[in-house]
Structure 1
Amino acid sequence: MKREYSIRNKINPNGYYLLMLLLIFIYPSILNAYNDSLKGGTRHADAEIKKHIYHNAASKTVRITDSADNLGILIDYSKGCKITGLNVKGKNTLSSSGVYTCFSTRGGKFSSCNSTSGIEVKKTDGGITMSNIVYGDNSINVNESWDFKLVDDKIFWKIDRRYSNLAKLEETAFPQWSFASLSVWKGGILDNGGMVWCKYLATVNDTYGVHTGGVTFWNPDSGDALRIAAKSDEKKYIAAKYSQSEKNEFTFTQSVTDVELEPRYNLNRFVEKKADVFSAFDVQKGNTSINLEIQYIDYEKEYSRGKLPAIDAEAVRELLNTTGRYGVVDNNIVGANGWTTNWKCLHEPFFAQIGMALNDENYTRNLSSTLDQERNYAITADGRVLSRWHNADDDQMPGTFNYKTGYYEARWGYTVDSQTGYIINTAEQFDLCGDIDWLRSHKESCEKALGWLIKRDSNNNGIFEMVNSSIAEQKASDWLDIVWASFENGFVNAQMYEALRLWANCELILGDKEKSDYYFSVASRLKENFNKPVDNGGFWSPQKKQYVYWRDKDGTVHGDNLVTPVNFAVIAFGLCDDKERIAVILNEIEKRTVAEKLFHWPLCFDSYKREEVHLNNWPFPKYENGDIFPTWGYLGIRAYVGYNKETALKYIRNILEQYNKDGLSSQRYSRDTQLGQGSDILAGICTSITALYRDIYGIRPKWNRMGVEPNMLKTLNGTEFSYKLRGTDYHLALSVDDYTISTSEFTLRSKSKLGVNKSGTILTYYPDNKEEMTLAIDSKSEHPIYIDVISWKTGTYSWKINSKDDYGFSLTGLIPEAVYKLLINGRAETVKADKGGRILREHHNDGKTATFILKKM
């Protein structure tokens, strides 16, 4: 009989059964692993997703954590559906209310926490879905599905809602996030460039509503932040509100509607002790949805200000992220007075400068649309720029308030610096956004605004006049709105000089040289007449060694009490370039500031006369008659930086020290006590720090390049930070006479001011950050370009290339048809500029340093 060959004959029976069991359980795993290897590891990815998405059917919960375990959510669907846990670095940030959806009608409030049907849970590719979440009443109900997906460090949450009927809703939550208390986060950075500051939701139901839904909440003590981005169908509108609930929770409520929500109380974005900041709205039968991206953010890394020797970088970061952003009231309303008082003054010229320092593309985008809004609704047919936006008419000059748009003239008088504020902000905003079509859309309105003021020169002396003629009218004409400055106002005219020059440059870029020349000539005449002694019709007081504030129509001179914003503006804007005058003014201001031990400059050092100011300014020092308003700090920094950089730096540090004491949450500071005063917080208080970036670090973006024009001190040597401009990340390294700008595509080092732009294979260097000359370097490959500019003086230009490649060099701005000597590594040749003043040269660099020197022969 033939014997069968069997594995059973090789091992004992017990071993045989054990082997069978191992094959049954292990072989499929081995096969799956093999299949995974063939499919690129997809099953491994599925395993990772399962590891971070855990469904417990018994307890009816779902837990989702990001790939790094920095962020986790716990969803409970036992009765309805809500997120009961939102863990940030292992700590639950939510109250017992959690995160849920809801809506309310006059018939009541209904939420996802109590579903009238059984919730269905289904695992999906890379996520999990909860559907059939039903709530409401007989008049209207909704059916929702919540779809969660995990992609690396982000949790994606899509909420689909179907309304059963047409209805009017009082409110909706899509969803509402309830954090344990107002102390969980310091605030939230909004995706329109603004911020919500939790401490200003001071009482129950204090509520701030905005027409945007994305936010990054942060806690500077822990360094943790939570980003919630929101998107919906482009035909829908997203809004959000932030409030302190009756349970003392910090709530964040998002909404999606068919029409933009209207404020319920006048034009208020912020209301006290009322949670219903938005008006009721209609919903249609059918579907709507929202897509949320939830992500843990390393706050210190994401919002790092870099390495700032001798500067409190943390205070810089917090000051800009709070006070600096606070002036954003809503979409299309970027200002400085802020959202708690629902105010914006158009007669402030520093909004674009704040955007430059914030370096937030959301703020920049919002400011562009704000200026568009003002162009469309705040400029009259004859070119007058209305001075303010407010939520109600209590501040209006009778009959001027527009109840739909909120723009009006202030009751204190025609504040004519709204003309110059609009121009300055538009010109500087163009340097940030770089959108020439956007600038062109403001050409007519800017020309009208300038023209309105240019026409106000009845005596034809080149100095522009206010609407009020004398102090007897008791009306204001500029930002200091309860000081009766009139007729020929030095402060407004100094700003007019800056506005004229900035806009003249814009006209040149737009190709209108005739208009450009005209505005430059108007500015030149203003400068000439402004600087004359007061007895000859100018503003210079030889007796007081200062510029006076204003002159009434009858020739009476007022404001020789050393008004700081006036004298600072004259120097900062270049209206005064007399070194002796500059020294006298700035030395006197510093002497008196030090003598009083003030941390910042007051609005004036001596008192106005009683008849020159409103009663609220009396007795001196009080309010605009002698108190400290840091809002105009940037003018002081800019004035001092060209005379004494150490003094400029001192007051920058002083502002940072003050922020660490009180958060700069004031309108002004008492001259006597140096304690904060006033409920109308001013974002402009941050301008001394915007000047740190503009006038010390020298951040000067231009519409077609990144530029730096530093005024560095040795104590600041080694400063390094990143700056993002129009989608490009630049790394800056700054020391005295040593400036480097680099990206992944190039490194350019210079001893003097510079501008630089990389487009395709061409790197363009702008000496002194101007366009009169350029050096364009065209590389034949995509390798990074390394260039050192050795010297760039008239007639002699020298640079080094430290990277291997074939290059084409193009120099423009040379003398047309002039002959130059070109030395490359000491080897000389003669080259001639063409009729356009350009020289072209190609060079192969073998990887060693190549030195170029071009000299006029």
Structure 2
Amino acid sequence: MLSRFKFCLSIIFVIALLPKNSQAATGNIIHNKTNHTIAITGADGSLKLIIDYTKGCVVKQLFVKGKNKLSPLGIYSGIGSATSLNTASIQVSESKNAITISGIKYGDVDLTITETWLFKLNGNTVDWVINRNYDKNAKPNDMAFPKWNFADMNTWKGGIMDNGGMVWCKYLKAVGDTYGVHTAGVTFWDASSGDGLAIKANAGQGQFAASKYSQGPNGEFTFTQLATTTPLRQRYDQSRFVSQKTDVFAPGQVKKGGMSMHLSLSYVNYFEKYSRGNLPGIDAAAVRELLNTTGRYGVVDNNIVGGNGWTTNWKCLHEPFFAQVGMAINDPNYTRNFSATLNQERDEAMLPDGRVLSRWHNAAGDEIPGTYNPKTGYYEAMWGYTIDSQTGYIINLSEQFDITGDVNWLRTHRESAEKALAWLIKRDANGNGIFEMMNNNIAEHKASDWLDIVWASYENAFVNAQMYEALTLWAECERVMGDSQKSGYYKSVALKLKTAFNKPVEEGGFWSAAKKQYVYWRDNDGSVHGDNLVTPVNFAAIAFGLCDDPKRIEQVLGQIEQRTVAENLFHWPLCFESFKREEVQSGNWPFPKYENGDIFPTWGYLGIRAYVGYDKAIALKYINNILKQYNKDGLSSQRYSRVTQLGQGDDILSGICTSITALYRDIYGIRPKWNRMGIEPNMVASLNGTAFNYTLRGTEYHIALSTNNYRISAKGFNVSANEGFGVAKNGNKLTYYHQNKEEHRLELLSKNGIEIKLNVNRWDNDSVSWKVASTGLYTFKLTGMSPGREYTVAINNKNRVIKATAEGDLQFNHNGPAIFIVK
């Protein structure tokens, strides 16, 4: 007896030492029939739901890492004012890891709804299926399928939606403010704790999901999911955001019979899931938050990815940086949505003659009379024909193609892209290689580009610089699609433009030797305007490669930096001196004010790209300045006052994030191409040790960067070099692209399919040298060599002579690790 007693004591002692949440280690469902409650806890205890069916049926509490996130209203379903909160005859049935609640019935004689809620525990995930039955066809004004009532507007910082956009809770400022979108999945996060709640949502077959976010009457943050048998339309024009109204959607159609919503709830460690990696010298947390808020804010809805954002219901098509933003955000949902956006703009925003309408808005009032289409929301801006919508479409399209790699998708845009370019090419009426705008001179009081209340006219350097970039990028797209003739044509047009652009102003070009800058525009009477050091004009000339003269680059960028430092500005203003009074709309006066001298960080990426080849430290300084500003105010502004450097304007611009997208493109050198992952870094010592993961077309790459030491690794390979490069792996073949260009490649075909470890340490006109550290039999092929030439190939210091083919290929085999030198 004594030994048995001691054994029992030992068991009790061990149980007492077990952690209190040990029961939750495998997850559980506890049904308290007396209290009419059900507790569902995920396997790791991070997520717990309490369901109460005392008087109706409601998820009364939702614990995320031990903290209840719900208001007393909880989570419930409903139609209009009839909800699951008031229903009788609830039945509960239990099975392994699942529980079913049936008998939920509400409504009236006009429309009766019955529901069954099925909860299933799947490890750390709670799956919730709401099966709903309507007793007749209907078109209800509103529904909750279901409605989530979170405690207050500070419960979450925001939510990342599964269309790549985000809801920023602080922008739902007043009771009833509502943002409605045509997607229902979201991940909410708390930026202080890193706790997040992921809600995956799928409506049943043949149904269309949507959701809306609001501030409730008692300060709750509400998230309402909806499902209809036809896509929901907006109630108020094209408005996705409405102020102090919760009925953002028009009534939606539901049919007699069954409908369903499938939800998967899980805890997310936000800091881990959205980690930007190890970024020495950079505030990685600010980068993460800026891209997940300001950067995503420009996603208005499905098929509307822009820069002005959802609170003002605006998208400017004359902005060329949305694909670049997607490259930095690195979310396949954003990428997918932006491709769909370009599809919609091709179909709805392009006129038969190739003109690309410049804007989308929720309602009329900002348009040239007669141009607004209330069915689509696209129109021409009232300030004038902003011609950079032609170039914006092409630049975004070309850069998006490099991200998606989808040649078939590109072909669906080929005709429209060629029409858009042809529309602008035809505007070179005098044949001098510079393309004219729709307005002729400042007396017309009309704009021609993004600076829409500056009367830039006729020959506009800013638009023409973007045209050069568009022509260059599209020429490469034509080559990829197999049309070398058209590719050559666009290159020749670009070359003619570059030559004309760089001529002195006295000879019809844009270079002012007297002012050591590129001027903004020339009227049709030959008068020159905008020699007040307009930064986006001069940055674009350098960033897009029109200006490659080191002396001019130094004169422009040295002058801009000197003057920015002298004023102690955190970022570059649109111009350093005043436009003339007659050159701008009255709202720009007196200087510095608005587009006549204020700070617009939207064009920061052009400045970073321009400076990175001139002085990397300067480029990096302004990147860090933007991150510091984000920590101060969230970059929740249209612009910043030149005088106070405080945020101004209600029209928040997501383009303010572009200095940080340039961090990825132009410092870290993330340069995906349609057939490979590429990096072209411009590192400085303070950033050494940078390492992060980057996902491209479903493959996760690990990027490691230090000065002159760059590495990309993924499943099946590990490649490093001291210059930029591209890499692609298809089956057992690895292709290395020197300097991330098509011309020079090294192909390695592994016979046994093992991981390939490659280091390229030299590639120039004299020799190519690389090392393979992995074992196995390889076939090597160098392309881009001199056709027919004999090369000395040294393998571990043993020489052999190999002759290149007529196509310039050099091919040989080797078994095992080795050092290779080709001369």
| TM-score range relative to shorter protein | over 0.9
**Bigger Rg, which one:** 1
2:782 to 811, 818, 832: 811
Aligned pair 1:415/2:415, yes or no? no
Aligned pair 1:73/2:45, yes or no? no
Partner secondary structure for residue 469 of structure 2: helix
Partner secondary structure for residue 280 of structure 2: coil
Alpha-carbon distance between aligned partners in 1 of 2:232 and 2:120, rounded to the nearest angstrom: 30
Alpha-carbon distance between aligned partners in 2 of 1:668 and 1:112, rounded to the nearest angstrom: 47
Match of 2:12?
A: none
Deviations along 1:39-84, one digit per CA (max 9) or x if unpaired, are xxxxxxxx98985111111111111111110111111112111101
The amino acid that maps onto 1:774 is: R
Aligned pair 1:513/2:484, yes or no? yes
Deviations along 1:352-372, one digit per CA (max 9) or x if unpaired, are 000000001100000000000
Alpha-carbon distance between aligned partners in 1 of 2:614 and 2:25, rounded to the nearest angstrom: 62
Query: Which consecutive unaligned segments of at least 5 residues does structure 2 have?
Result: 9-22
Residues 28 and 97, structure 2, Cα contact 8 Å, conserved in 1: no
Aligned pair 1:686/2:657, yes or no? yes
The amino acid that maps onto 2:770 is: W
2:258 to 287, 297, 307: 287
Deviations along 1:668-710, one digit per CA (max 9) or x if unpaired, are 0000000000000000000000000000000000011000000
Match of 1:699?
A: 670
Aligned pair 1:207/2:178, yes or no? yes
Match of 1:221?
A: 192
2:739 to 768, 790, 796: 768
Partner secondary structure for residue 178 of structure 1: strand
Aligned pair 1:853/2:821, yes or no? yes
Residues 474 and 484, structure 1, Cα contact 8 Å, conserved in 2: yes
Match of 1:633?
A: 604
1:99 to 75, 78, 84: 75
Match of 1:240?
A: 211
Match of 1:650?
A: 621
Residues 49 and 127, structure 1, Cα contact 8 Å, conserved in 2: no
Alpha-carbon distance between aligned partners in 2 of 1:235 and 1:745, rounded to the nearest angstrom: 41
1:555 CA displacement = 0.3
Match of 1:394?
A: 365
Partner secondary structure for residue 231 of structure 1: strand
Match of 1:261?
A: 232
Alpha-carbon distance between aligned partners in 1 of 2:132 and 2:43, rounded to the nearest angstrom: 29
Aligned pair 1:377/2:353, yes or no? no
Worse-matched range after superposition: 89-98 or 830-839? 830-839
Q: How do residues 397-476 of structure 1 correspond to structure 2 at under 5 angstroms? A: 397-476=368-447
The amino acid that maps onto 1:186 is: K
Partner secondary structure for residue 253 of structure 2: strand
Alpha-carbon distance between aligned partners in 1 of 2:332 and 2:685, rounded to the nearest angstrom: 31
Q: Which runs of 4+ in 1 moved over 3 A?
A: 47-51
The amino acid that maps onto 2:46 is: N
The amino acid that maps onto 2:394 is: I
The amino acid that maps onto 1:842 is: N
1:780 CA displacement = 2.3
Partner secondary structure for residue 423 of structure 1: helix
Alpha-carbon distance between aligned partners in 1 of 2:458 and 2:557, rounded to the nearest angstrom: 27
2:103 to 129, 132, 151: 132
Indicate the RMSD between aligned Cα atoms, in angstroms: 1.6
Alpha-carbon distance between aligned partners in 2 of 1:146 and 1:523, rounded to the nearest angstrom: 62
Partner secondary structure for residue 349 of structure 1: coil
1:446 CA displacement = 0.5
Alpha-carbon distance between aligned partners in 2 of 1:152 and 1:164, rounded to the nearest angstrom: 36
Aligned pair 1:180/2:151, yes or no? yes
CA pair 152-414 structure 1, distance change in 2 beyond 3 A? same
> What TM-score, normalized by structure 2, do the two folds share?
0.97
Aligned pair 1:582/2:553, yes or no? yes
Alpha-carbon distance between aligned partners in 1 of 2:716 and 2:269, rounded to the nearest angstrom: 27
Q: How do residues 817-828 of structure 1 correspond to structure 2 at under 5 angstroms? A: 817-828=788-799
Alpha-carbon distance between aligned partners in 1 of 2:164 and 2:32, rounded to the nearest angstrom: 40
Deviations along 1:374-414, one digit per CA (max 9) or x if unpaired, are 00010000000000000001101100000000000000000
The amino acid that maps onto 2:70 is: L
Alpha-carbon distance between aligned partners in 2 of 1:573 and 1:299, rounded to the nearest angstrom: 37
Match of 1:111?
A: 83
Match of 2:760?
A: 789
The amino acid that maps onto 1:851 is: I
Partner secondary structure for residue 584 of structure 1: helix
Aligned pair 1:194/2:165, yes or no? yes
Alpha-carbon distance between aligned partners in 2 of 1:782 and 1:93, rounded to the nearest angstrom: 50
1:782 CA displacement = 3.5
Match of 2:707?
A: 736
1:659 to 604, 624, 630: 630
Alpha-carbon distance between aligned partners in 1 of 2:487 and 2:185, rounded to the nearest angstrom: 41
1:744 CA displacement = 2.6
The amino acid that maps onto 1:600 is: H
Match of 1:85?
A: 61
Residues 24 and 41, structure 2, Cα contact 8 Å, conserved in 1: no
The amino acid that maps onto 1:113 is: L
Aligned pair 1:61/2:37, yes or no? yes
1:251 to 222, 227, 240: 222
2:582 to 604, 611, 630: 611
The amino acid that maps onto 1:84 is: K
Alpha-carbon distance between aligned partners in 2 of 1:711 and 1:774, rounded to the nearest angstrom: 22
Alpha-carbon distance between aligned partners in 1 of 2:509 and 2:599, rounded to the nearest angstrom: 27
Q: How do residues 38-53 of structure 1 correspond to structure 2 at under 5 angstroms? A: 51-53=27-29
Match of 1:720?
A: 691
Match of 2:268?
A: 297
Alpha-carbon distance between aligned partners in 2 of 1:791 and 1:50, rounded to the nearest angstrom: 55
Match of 1:3?
A: none
1:812 CA displacement = 1.8
1:613 CA displacement = 0.3
Deviations along 1:105-134, one digit per CA (max 9) or x if unpaired, are xxxx1111111x411111134311111211
Deviations along 1:284-333, one digit per CA (max 9) or x if unpaired, are 11111111111100011000011111100000000100000000000000
1:232 CA displacement = 2.0
Alpha-carbon distance between aligned partners in 1 of 2:594 and 2:420, rounded to the nearest angstrom: 30
Residues 49 and 150, structure 1, Cα contact 8 Å, conserved in 2: no
Residues 204 and 262, structure 2, Cα contact 8 Å, conserved in 1: no
Partner secondary structure for residue 201 of structure 2: strand
Q: Percent identity?
A: 62
The amino acid that maps onto 1:745 is: G
1:366 to 337, 344, 359: 337
Worse-matched range after superposition: 597-606 or 134-143? 134-143
The amino acid that maps onto 1:850 is: A
Residues 56 and 104, structure 2, Cα contact 8 Å, conserved in 1: yes
Worse-matched range after superposition: 595-604 or 773-782? 773-782
Residues 128 and 147, structure 1, Cα contact 8 Å, conserved in 2: yes
Match of 1:36?
A: none
1:819 CA displacement = 1.1
Q: How do residues 12-51 of structure 1 correspond to structure 2 at under 5 angstroms? A: 51=27
Residues 60 and 76, structure 1, Cα contact 8 Å, conserved in 2: yes
Alpha-carbon distance between aligned partners in 1 of 2:101 and 2:781, rounded to the nearest angstrom: 63
Alpha-carbon distance between aligned partners in 1 of 2:778 and 2:158, rounded to the nearest angstrom: 50
Alpha-carbon distance between aligned partners in 1 of 2:499 and 2:64, rounded to the nearest angstrom: 62
Residues 789 and 798, structure 1, Cα contact 8 Å, conserved in 2: yes
Alpha-carbon distance between aligned partners in 1 of 2:459 and 2:488, rounded to the nearest angstrom: 24
Partner secondary structure for residue 808 of structure 2: coil
Partner secondary structure for residue 646 of structure 1: helix
Residues 24 and 44, structure 2, Cα contact 8 Å, conserved in 1: no
Alpha-carbon distance between aligned partners in 2 of 1:83 and 1:778, rounded to the nearest angstrom: 57
Residues 27 and 123, structure 2, Cα contact 8 Å, conserved in 1: no
1:554 to 522, 525, 535: 525
1:335 CA displacement = 0.2
